[in-house]
Amino acid sequence: MRVLGVDPGLTRCGLGVVDGGAGRAVSCVAVHVVQTPPDVALGARLIAVASVVEDWIAEHRPDVVAVERVFSQHNVRTAMGTAQVGGVVALIAAQRGLSVAFHTPSEVKAAVTGSGRAGKEQVTTMITRLLALPTKPRPADAADALALAVCHLWRAPMTQRLAQAQVHSAQLARAHRARLAAAARQAKGAR
């Protein structure tokens, strides 16, 4: 499976493509950071990011796009920009028939470092090791995008199994309720 990880942001938007192999094997395909100047109009900045994301989807052909979920930030302006870029990326992916998965920062940190409270440098160090990169991806947005892709590759099978188990459980519950209702009707008819 090939995942395009996106660490959304208006000033810096990290993009990372990672291939997943058997087990937990992962390899880096490409990494990039889209930068837009703060003094440019919002619409132009979103178009600039969208254009690069469209090119990356066309070039790298991911199976899924993993985007960082805006969880909570103290700076409302930063949170809004992050959410706007995340929305643009999700729209582009959906228009191309790709599924989009959102992961919180703590999910990503826990997946790649073992701790949901890991710092940016820890994430960068672990991504460098996990992907056997010759140098640390910089800025941190690049490492975060790769971490999002790795997180999705490692969490997706578990998430799919959980969804399948929930569907199976719901089917069993419906069948059980139907048997109980049939037994109640039979008991009522016997009186």
Residues annotated as catalytic are 7, 68, 141
With a CB cutoff of 8 Å and minimum separation 6, the contacts of 32 are 14, 15, 16, 52, 56, 142
Determine phi and psi for 138, rounding to 5 degrees. -130, 150
Q: What's CA 92's distance to the chain center, in Å?
A: 15
* Under 8 Å between Cβ of 35 and 49: no
In angstroms, the CA 58 to CA 72 distance is: 32
In angstroms, the CA 66 to CA 74 distance is: 23
In angstroms, the CA 68 to CA 92 distance is: 15
In angstroms, the CA 54 to CA 7 distance is: 15
